[in-house]
């Protein structure tokens, strides 16, 4: 099975199928914080989180949403002709504000010319019922995607990285979103300290059974100014090289449901902050290498999906609809 020119169900393929053309993200900053930073759950964020709150590439929050979108749109148009955009609220926890404020900025984003979809990165413990109702309403104007930071299904790792909520919270929130017709994208991090390859594959297997629409697969980045950087200096814990990461990514994708859209296979932390792995800074080269390995191994997304334990088991956990 192939999806255009790639052996996996890429976001680019999905966007061309839905909208008939390539779609680009406008990365936005809603000026919010996070319960892991404002004292509600903690003050230092997740152990891997930089000062930018995973929004290091987002536009400055001092600008209005429209100004941010105009700025980012113009930068993209200088490089290539583009007609459709995804309004992507990335920095920190983008539902962690009063619903009136969220309605203002999200509505401003979806009304911006040529917006094809609204994507919101947040935490599953930060979507109360009034915010859920707002997202359902916005979903009538453009497709709304909610990106939930899961990272791992293993509670021991979740405690180590200070995620701050149990796996049951992710399952409940994903089910609530899905019941309103809102697509859920799960964020996962590969290479977290103490996790084996089997642990990481178990996270993939679990997501296959939860009905998520998309996944972001991310190599663990060690960034300056984070508690993870301190832990790395103290312990020198092992970080995968490119060959190992590519092998792991292929194993994950081979087990992944063909219906799940792959929004990301890797990531690139800001060069000024990145401590390790340095090879991840060269995103295009990394993707080219991974794609070449797919070809050499003659493999594809979902190759072993039906053989993965639980995928044919009706008693496996499912999201309610």
pLDDT reading at 313 higher than 60 = no
What is the C-alpha separation between 13 and 2, in angstroms, rounded? 10
Digit-coded pLDDT (tens) for 249-261: 999 999 999 999 9
End-to-end CA, the chain: 28
Higher-scoring residue by pLDDT: 233, 60? 233
CA 80 from chain centre, in angstroms, equals: 25
In Å, how far are 49, 53, 285 from 36, measured between CA atoms?
10, 10, 34
**Percent over 90 (pLDDT), the chain:** 84
pLDDT reading at 321 higher than 90 = no
The CA-based angle 177-94-87, given to 5 degrees, is 85
What is the C-alpha separation between 67 and 281, in angstroms, rounded? 29
Confidence band of 319 (pLDDT split at 50, 70, 90)? very low
Average confidence (pLDDT) over 89-111: 97
Q: Which two tokens stand for residue 310?
A: 């639980």
Q: Which two tokens stand for residue 319?
A: 């999201």
Under a CB-based contact definition with an 8 Å cutoff, are residues 8 and 253 in contact? yes
* Matching residue, tokens 């900053």: 29
* Matching residue, tokens 């935490």: 123
Q: Which residues of 106-118 are buried (b: 16+ CB within 10 A; e: fewer)?
A: bbbbbebeebbbb
pLDDT for 187: 97
Mean of the per-residue pLDDT values of the chain = 92
What is the C-alpha separation between 108 and 100, in angstroms, rounded? 12
The full set of domains in the chain, from first to last, is 11-302 (3.80.30.30)
Residue 148: which H helix or E strand, with range?
A: strand 144-151
Under a CB-based contact definition with an 8 Å cutoff, are residues 12 and 22 in contact? yes
| Torsion 94-95-96-97 (CA) sign | positive
3-state secondary structure of 310: coil
Of 89, 17, 91, 29, which Cα lies nearest the Cα of 63?
29
Digit-coded pLDDT (tens) for 221-249: 999 999 999 999 999 999 999 999 999 99
Confidence band of 57 (pLDDT split at 50, 70, 90)? low
Of 258, 265, 270, which Cα lies nearest the Cα of 287?
265
Digit-coded pLDDT (tens) for 154-200: 999 999 999 999 999 999 999 999 999 999 999 999 999 999 999 99
pLDDT for 315: 39
Confidence band of 80 (pLDDT split at 50, 70, 90)? confident
Q: Can you give the length of the chain in residues? A: 321
Burial of 85 (0-12, 13-18, 19+ CB in 10 A): buried
């Amino acid at each position: 099975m192939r999806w255009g020119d790639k052996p996996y169900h890429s976001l680019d393929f999905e966007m061309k199928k839905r909208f008939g053309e390539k779609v680009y993200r406008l990365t936005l900053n809603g000026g919010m914080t996070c319960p892991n930073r404002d004292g509600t759950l903690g003050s230092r964020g997740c152990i891997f989180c930089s000062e930018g709150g995973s929004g290091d590439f987002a536009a400055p929050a001092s600008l209005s949403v429209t100004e941010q979108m105009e700025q980012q749109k113009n930068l993209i148009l200088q490089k290539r002709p583009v007609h459709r955009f995804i309004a992507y609220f990335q920095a920190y926890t983008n539902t962690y504000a009063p619903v009136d404020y969220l309605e203002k900025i999200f509505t401003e984003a979806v009304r911006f010319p040529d917006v094809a979809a609204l994507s919101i990165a947040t935490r599953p413990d930060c979507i109360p019922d009034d915010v859920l109702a707002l997202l359902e309403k916005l979903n009538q104007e453009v497709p709304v995607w909610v990106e939930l930071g899961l990272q791992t299904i293993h509670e021991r790792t979740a405690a180590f990285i200070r995620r701050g909520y149990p796996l049951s919270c992710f399952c409940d929130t994903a089910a609530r979103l899905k019941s309103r017709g809102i697509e859920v994208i799960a964020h996962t991090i590969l290479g977290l300290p103490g996790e084996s390859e089997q642990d990481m594959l178990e996270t993939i297997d679990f997501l296959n059974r939860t009905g998520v629409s998309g996944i972001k697969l991310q190599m663990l980045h060690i960034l300056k100014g984070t508690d993870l950087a301190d832990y790395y200096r103290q312990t020198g814990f092992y970080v995968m090289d490119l060959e190992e990461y590519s092998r792991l990514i292929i194993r994950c994708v081979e087990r992944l449901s063909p219906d799940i859209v792959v929004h990301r296979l890797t990531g690139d932390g800001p060069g000024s902050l990145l401590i390790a792995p340095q090879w991840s800074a060269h995103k295009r080269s990394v993707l080219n290498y991974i794609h070449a390995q797919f070809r050499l191994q003659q493999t594809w997304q979902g190759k072993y999906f039906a053989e993965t334990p639980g995928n044919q088991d009706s008693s496996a956990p499912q999201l309610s609809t």
